[in-house]
Chain A
Amino acid sequence: ILNVEQSPQSLHVQEGDSTNFTCSFPSSNFYALHWYRWETAKSPEALFVMTLNGDEKKKGRISATLNTKEGYSYLYIKGSQPEDSATYLCAFKGSQGNLIFGKGTKLSVKP
């Protein structure tokens, strides 16, 4: 059974704090790692698709790194804002399979 783990489950930070969370996934048969941002009552929004070991991607204040050999990815948010409050999902795609999601990290940013 393929398992994708995200930690922490939830996170409360103050506005302006930088934060990061982890996604761990199987290190074999890797094809891609997806990060999504999911606000309540909205569609999950694609943040990054990462395919190569050592990939680093950035979108504004959000960035992500990928280590396929050890099976983990970090998502960083610099200078968190209240509008960053959402659940952040990662999903692993193996070479022969569909997306397997973690349970998400719920981020709350207090003004």
Chain B
Amino acid sequence: GQNIDQPTEMTATEGAIVQINCTYQTSGFNGLFWYQQHAGEAPTFLSYNVLDGLEEKGRFSSFLSRSKGYSYLLLKELQMKDSASYLCAVFDSNYQLVWGAGTKLIIKP
């Protein structure tokens, strides 16, 4: 079966750095995505990785290791508005998205 694992919940402090991990086991791999979802709202696209390495976009960075089936999302200089769920999703061999259950990130002042 296909599986994506993320921590259910994480807590961090405003101004700090947090790393949200995602491990995957899928039938094939054609890219990994991170989405942000605020409570009661729609998910919004954050990043896409298809090659190994780190992709930086402002305060957010995403890392991929295909050999390890592993990715992380790094959020720097945390702000209260970063309190949200972060969803990891993988494109399998059929270009179907397999979704993780999401990580709820709580930011404390």
Chains A and B form a bound pair: no
* Interface, chain A (partner B; CB < 8 A): none
Binding site for A on B (CB under 8 A): none
